Amino acid sequence: MKIAVLAGDGIGPEVTAQSVKVLRTLAGNRLDLQMTSAPIGQAGVDADGVPLPDATLKLAGESDAILFGSVGGPTDELPDRKKRPGAGLLKLRKALTLFANYRPAVLFEELIGASTLRPEIVRGVDMLILRELNGDLYFGEPRGVHMEDGKRVGINTMRYSEDEIARIAHAGFKAAQGRRGKLCSVDKSNVLETMQLWREVVMEVGREYPDVELSHLYIDAASMMLIRKPTQFDVIVTGNVFGDILSDAAAMLTGSIGMLPSASMGPGTQGLFEPVHGSAPDIAGKDIANPIASILSSAMMLRYSLGLPEEADKVERAVRTVLAAGLRTVDIQQPGTRLVGTAEMGDAIAAALEIAA
Using an 8 Å Cβ cutoff, are 102 and 269 in contact?
A: no
d(C-alpha 300, C-alpha 257), whole Å:
17
Which member of 290, 298, 305, 337 binds ligand NAD (CB under 6 A)?
A: 290
d(CA 252, CA 274): 18
263 binds ligand NAD, rule: CB under 6 A: no
Is residue 282 helix, strand or coil? coil
CB of 147 to ligand NAD, least distance (A): 27
Between residues 82 and 228, which has the closer beta carbon with respect to ligand NAD? 82
User: Which sign does the torsion angle of CA 279, 250, 262, 126 carry?
Assistant: positive
Catalytic one among 9, 64, 188, 304?
Answer: 188
Active-site hit among 58, 94, 220, 229? 220
Query: Of these, 110, 187, 331, 347, which contacts ligand NAD (CB under 6 A)?
Result: 331
Looking only at residues 78 through 137 of this chain, which bind ligand NAD when binding is defined by CB under 6 A?
86, 89
For the question of residue 160 being annotated catalytic, the response is: no
164 binds ligand NAD (CB under 6 A): no
Closest to 102 in 3D by CA, of 161, 168, 40: 168
Q: What residue spans of the chain are helical by DSSP H?
A: 12-27, 42-48, 54-61, 85-95, 119-122, 162-177, 193-206, 219-228, 240-253, 292-304, 309-324, 342-356
Q: Does 283 bind ligand NAD (CB under 6 A)?
A: yes
DSSP letters for 52-65: S-HHHHHHHHTSSE
Which residue of this chain has its Cβ atom nearest to ligand NAD in the complex?
A: 72
CB-nearer residue toward ligand NAD: 93 or 167: 93
Catalytic residue check, 82: no
Closest approach of ligand NAD to the CB of residue 209, in Å: 30
List residues with catalytic annotation.
138, 188, 220, 244, 248
Q: Which residues bind ligand NAD (CB under 6 A)?
A: 11, 15, 70-72, 76, 86, 89, 257-258, 274, 277-283, 289-290, 293, 331
